[in-house]
Structure 1
Amino acid sequence: MMSAGKSLLDDADSTMPALSYAVALQTLASKVGFDWSDPRGVLDKIQEEAEELLSEINAAAPDKIQAELGDLLFAITNLARHLNVDPQQALQQTNQKFYRRFSFIEQQLTHQGKSVENASLLEMDALWERSKTEQSV
C-alpha cells in the first residue's frame, strides 16, 4: 500500500532517457493491472493518439501539437513494451538504416554529378526505393 504523497510510479528513475523512463512507468502501472491485455488495444490507442495529433496539426496549435506528439510517442513505446521490443534499440536500428539509405542517395547522386541540394524530391525518392532493394536490412 502506498503512503500518502508517494506514488507507485516514484520507483521509476526519472533521470533515465525518455524512452526508458516511459517503459519503466508503463511497467510499474502494469503491475497493478493498469494495462492492455493485448497489443491490439495499444494499436487502437496509437490510432486514437494519431488522430488527436492530426486534429491539432489542422488547428495549428503548436503547444497542443507537442503534447499530442508526446502522447503518441508514449503509446508507441507502450506497444514496444507489449511486443518485448526495446524501443531505444528499435529506434537506433532504424536510425542506422536511415543513415545507410540516405548515404546511398548521396553516393548515387554524386555518381550522377549531382548533390542532394540540387536533386529533386522525386529523384531522391526513387533512389530511396532503390536503396531498399539493393541494401540488406
Structure 2
Amino acid sequence: MEKTFTMLKPGVLQRRIAGEVIHRFERKGLKLIALKLLQMDKAMVETHYAEHKGKDFYGKLVEYTLSGPVVAMVWEGEEAITMVRRLVGPTDIDVSLPGTIRGDYAYRTRLNIVHASDSPASAEREIALFFKPEELIDWKDGNGHWF
C-alpha cells in the first residue's frame, strides 16, 4: 500500500467545506491514517514549498498558507498518489475539470484549496514534515475488500 500526503489550505476551513473534501477521498476508498489541524509558521511553510522558492507566485503562496489553519492528512491505498492527484485535479483551475476537487471548489489558481504530493519522494518528505512516525495509525479496514 502506498501513502500520500494532502493538505487542505486555509480557504477550505474558511468556506466550511473540509468535510466535503475529505469525503471525496473516503468515498474513493482511500484509508485515512493521520489527520491534524494546525497553524503553520513561516519556516514550516517555506520548508514545505521550498521547490517553488524564487517563482513569481511563491510569496503569495506563503502568505495564503499562513492566513489560517490547514488540515494535514495522510492517506493510504493502492496507487494512492496517482489516485489523489486524479481526485484533486490539475493545479491550474482553468483546466481542472468539474468533478475534481479543484474543478468544483477552487476559484483562483493562486488560492488553490488543496495540496497533494506529486511523487513518492515528495510524499515521504511531506509526511515526515507534518507527522511523527507514531502519528500514522495502521488500522484494520473492515471494508477494505470492497475497494
Common fold, TM-score beyond 0.5? no
The normalised TM-score by structure 1 is 0.24
Greater per-residue strand proportion: 2
The normalised TM-score by structure 2 is 0.23
Greater RCO (CA < 8 Å, at least 6 residues apart): 2
